[in-house]
Structure 1
Amino acid sequence: MNQDNGQLRNQMGRLGFGGTGVGNLYRAISEEQAAATIEAAWDAGIRYFDTAPHYGLGLSERRIGEFLAAKPRSEFVISTKVGRVLVPSPATADTKDPEGFDVPAVLRREWDPSEAGVRRSIEDSLERLGLDYVDVAYLHDPDVYSMEDAVKSALPALEKVRAEGLVRAIGVGTNTAGAAMECVEAADLDLLMLAGRFTMLEQPGSDGRPGAGLLDRCLELGTGVVSVGVYNSGILAKPELPADAHYNYSQASEEILDRARELARICKEYDVELPTAAIQFPFRHPAVVNVTVGASKPEQISQSAERMSADIPAELWQDLQQRRLIPA
């Protein structure tokens, strides 16, 4: 484990900025809007910025790097990801990226978990970011490609680059609790970025899901958890739930809608909006060190910062626990 772990976590703070939106996820935004959004994060006191080559085929890294170039390097923490290496793709240059980002597909993603691939990915990211080093390198979505490759090749490669001082910390970013547990047991990870699996609607191991005891195990091992996707792709993002709310990127079922509405109703009884409870919920577990949220507009950042700093009465959490809507 990196001896710098405690200092790094303190620098990250409670709220982080996720770079999917400024990578043109789902819709294109202008350079000016992207810069204003990142600046709003800085002005709100956010000092942890997360990005990846995957986000807009490098666009997110470039935009975040251009903004941070004017800031003292010691004052922020930046993470990016390895696993997907970007290579030229002239055959698709006149089409849009097929993986949800509104950018030309001039590059394509190739899974390369080898040590050479990990090093190349970090070097390419540094060039796009315009930085000398990144603080954290996560293995990105190993469950989408090959857990065997992750365990046998990519994770040992990350441990090696950390030992050499090329990065301060290493981790895994995944939205699968079972894969997260496998990686946590297989390598000496500083951080785990867990997407959508520790929220007010879903916890590892609940309802028969894999990953029971994941956060407890992270706490035992000293692996800090960065919680992302806390709104479960939208259903927890508004005080009042629309009928067409999305849960994990699909139309929410009536069962999930009913449960979310019950959460919203109880929160309202305590004068707390559902998204405010949702963004603070992960800190109910001591393994969680940071909640990172994406944004594509400055006002979204301001709203997230307000929600994170809002007071939530302990009685609300106790009530939700008694009703077995959240774990004790």
Structure 2
Amino acid sequence: MTPDVRSRPDLLSAMGRWGLGTGPLGNLFAAIDDDRARRIVDASWDRGVRMFDTAPHYGLGLAERRLGDALRDRPREQYVVSTKVGRLLVPNPGGAAQRDPGGFDVPANLARRWDFSARGVRESWERSLERLGLDAVDILYLHDPDDHLDVAVNEALPALVELREAGHVSAIGIGTTNAAAATRVVETGLADVVMIAGRYTLLDRTASERLLPAALEHGVAVVAAGVYNSGILATRRPGPTSFYDYAPASHEIIARATRLGDVCAAHGVELSRAARVFALRHPAVVSVVLGIGDPSQVPGSFDDDEPLPDALWADLDAESRRDRTGGGA
């Protein structure tokens, strides 16, 4: 079994409680310019954020390039960068006149090709270093291997182990929305860190069933991402245009989120604040990564050091139980 990464104060201290997710820097859902992207990173840095998560998938490499540009003059020993493998970016002839079908507002001059082979892992890692302009990244994740899990576990994960043992990366793991896939990787005993997106939130606690207990058992640190479930938990009052899991939210999900918002309001707490603090209450979770699309959203997002009332969590837990048993309809 790999050493308990949660006992490694060097890595965990550098990661901190909060990280910046760079999906928005890759023009997720809407385009932003280079200046705004840089100001998001700068504002996050000024708030003490030192962990930055990215991936080739985000804007077909745009997020990695923008993040690298923003960090280039920062002291390298002061921050942690994670990126992901599994999607190689390849030329897409004729795609420059089209928009990326993957949800990012960028030209489709490149396409994603799934590749969890050992060779693909190394090629993806090397290309990410080029886009980032860095000599090394700190954490490498298998990215969404859900439909390719056997080859990811049997080929890609050992390739990550080799990179770690050679000293090229400090930690390896999996980044996914699929709690079952993440649990399988954790149970190999080879992973150091798992990033679970959208599955340990006020609306979806799937990760608490097997993944988080497995992470504690195997000494794997958990980074929670997607804690707003694509935005529905990021506002005071969810509305009819809210997104959930990267798609328009259903009436049922909007109703559930609204009830959670009512509980928070009764305790004088904003729904978004409860949503981002929630995951940190679990002993397996070491950090929460937030995707931010505008520098004006940074103040307040990374300042949740004051504990929220125990009564709030009790009421939110009760609401969650009602939803699971069908009593919240």
TM-score normalised over the length of structure 2: 0.92
Q: Structure 2: how far apart are the matches of 1:247 and 1:54? A: 19
Which aligned segments of 4 or more residues in structure 1 are displaced greater than 6 angstroms? none
What is the CA deviation profile of residues 292-316 of structure 1, one whole-angstrom value per residue up to 9, with x for unaligned ones? 011121012223124x335411221
User: Paired residue for 2:166?
Assistant: 164
Match of 1:40 among 39, 43, 49: 43
User: Paired residue for 1:16?
Assistant: 19
1:74 partner SS:
helix
Q: Structure 2: how far apart are the matches of 1:118 and 1:255? A: 40
Q: Which stretch has the larger CA shift, 49-58 or 94-103?
A: 94-103
**1:17-166 alignment to 2 at 5 Å?**
17-143=20-146, 145-166=147-168
Q: Which stretch has the larger CA shift, 73-82 or 249-258?
A: 249-258
Match of 2:275 among 266, 275, 278: 278
**Would you say the 8 A contact 2:292–2:298 is kept in 1?**
yes
**Would you say the 8 A contact 1:200–1:326 is kept in 2?**
no
Match of 1:232 among 229, 232, 247: 229
1:290 partner SS:
strand
- CA-CA distance at 1:326 after TM superposition: 9.3
2:170 partner SS:
strand
Counterparts in 2 of 1:84 and 1:66: CA distance versus 1, 3 Å? same
Counterparts in 2 of 1:36 and 1:315: CA distance versus 1, 3 Å? same
What is the CA deviation profile of residues 66-96 of structure 1, one whole-angstrom value per residue up to 9, with x for unaligned ones? 1111000000000000111112223323322
Counterpart amino acid of residue 273 in structure 2? T
Q: Structure 2: how far apart are the matches of 1:61 and 1:212? A: 33
Gapped regions of structure 1 (runs ≥ 5): 206-210
2:302 corresponds to 1:299: no
- CA-CA distance at 1:62 after TM superposition: 0.7
Q: Structure 2: how far apart are the matches of 1:67 and 1:156? A: 32
Give the percent of matched residue pairs that are identical in Structure 1 and Structure 2: 49
Q: Which stretch has the larger CA shift, 98-107 or 251-260?
A: 251-260
**Would you say the 8 A contact 1:18–1:49 is kept in 2?**
yes
**Would you say the 8 A contact 1:276–1:310 is kept in 2?**
no
- CA-CA distance at 1:317 after TM superposition: 1.1
Q: Structure 1: how far apart are the matches of 2:97 and 2:315? A: 55
**Would you say the 8 A contact 1:141–1:174 is kept in 2?**
yes
- CA-CA distance at 1:18 after TM superposition: 0.4
Q: Structure 2: how far apart are the matches of 1:184 and 1:247? A: 26
Q: Structure 1: how far apart are the matches of 2:100 and 2:315? A: 45
2:271 corresponds to 1:269: no
2:223 partner SS:
strand
Q: Structure 1: how far apart are the matches of 2:89 and 2:315? A: 48
Counterpart amino acid of residue 58 in structure 1? G
What is the CA deviation profile of residues 172-225 of structure 1, one whole-angstrom value per residue up to 9, with x for unaligned ones? 0110111111111135111111010000111116xxxxx732101101111111
After superposition, the CA RMSD in angstroms is 1.9
TM-score normalised over the length of structure 1: 0.92
1:134 partner SS:
coil
**Would you say the 8 A contact 1:155–1:187 is kept in 2?**
no
User: Paired residue for 1:208?
Assistant: none
Q: How many residues align?
A: 320
- CA-CA distance at 1:135 after TM superposition: 0.1
1:227 partner SS:
strand
Q: Structure 2: how far apart are the matches of 1:234 and 1:67? A: 25
**Would you say the 8 A contact 2:3–2:219 is kept in 1?**
no
2:205 corresponds to 1:203: yes
2:181 partner SS:
helix
Match of 2:315 among 309, 312, 319: 319
Q: Structure 2: how far apart are the matches of 1:203 and 1:112? A: 30
User: Paired residue for 2:327?
Assistant: none
1:124 partner SS:
helix
Counterparts in 2 of 1:184 and 1:3: CA distance versus 1, 3 Å? closer
Q: Which stretch has the larger CA shift, 290-299 or 235-244?
A: 235-244
Gapped regions of structure 2 (runs ≥ 5): 325-329
